[in-house]
A = this chain, B = another copy of it.
Amino acid sequence: MTDPTPRRAPAGAAVLREDVTEAIRAAVFEELAAVGYARMSIEGIARRAGVGKTAVYRRWKSKLSLVLDLVGAFAAQGLPAPASGSLYGDVRALLEVASHALRHPVASQVIPDLLVEAARHPEIAETVKAVLLDGQQGVMTQIVREAVARGELPEGTDPGKALDLAVGPLYWRLVVVRTPLPKGYLDELARSAVAALRA
């Protein structure tokens, strides 16, 4: 095995190892954007990162685990805790974060790729789902719980349905339809989601 980090400088080596990890992460995003998940190879990633294949395999056991790791870190970041004091405010805050995330290249390119893999390989579907959805489902469960406590939603409101109604239209619009959002559209969607939830 060849290792790009020099053996004789422990402190420097630690820094370099982190640099290599970061270079690989950056290379993965570039490869995904350029060729897509299906055509992407560990070899191509290593070449782009300027490291050996071994350096990649030492860190991640497969292409899939590498991508899931990156997407998981991306999906978890920036999700708001419900703090506005109203159902409308909490849903609006979630839509704000989701709309930024869904316009990021990770979402617009990599997530559809992962869903394609999930559709074809049921064994990875659960992992993909967990990575993509657990954070959002957790936040929506909290939003619903607090709205029920305030009397804004009936007892027993299903957080899964709430997520469908709040995030579904935005996902459809940004990932499937792909036309620009008119000004004020997130406000309208949040208002609509609240009305839909109370229907």
Contacts and interface: CB of A to CB of B under 8 A. Distances in A.
User: How large, as a class, is the contact surface on chain A?
Assistant: 35 or more
Contact of A177 (B33, B129, B175, B198): B129
Interface stretch (A16-24, A69-77, A141-149, A166-174): A166-174
How many copies the complex holds: the figure is: 2
Contacts of A109: 116, 119-120
A191 interface: yes
A65 B21 CA distance: 40
Contacts of A182: 158
A99 interface: no
Contact of A36 (B38, B168, B197, B198): B38
A19 to B, nearest CB: 29
A176 B171 contact: yes
Interface in A172-199: 172-173, 175-179, 182, 185, 188-189, 191-199
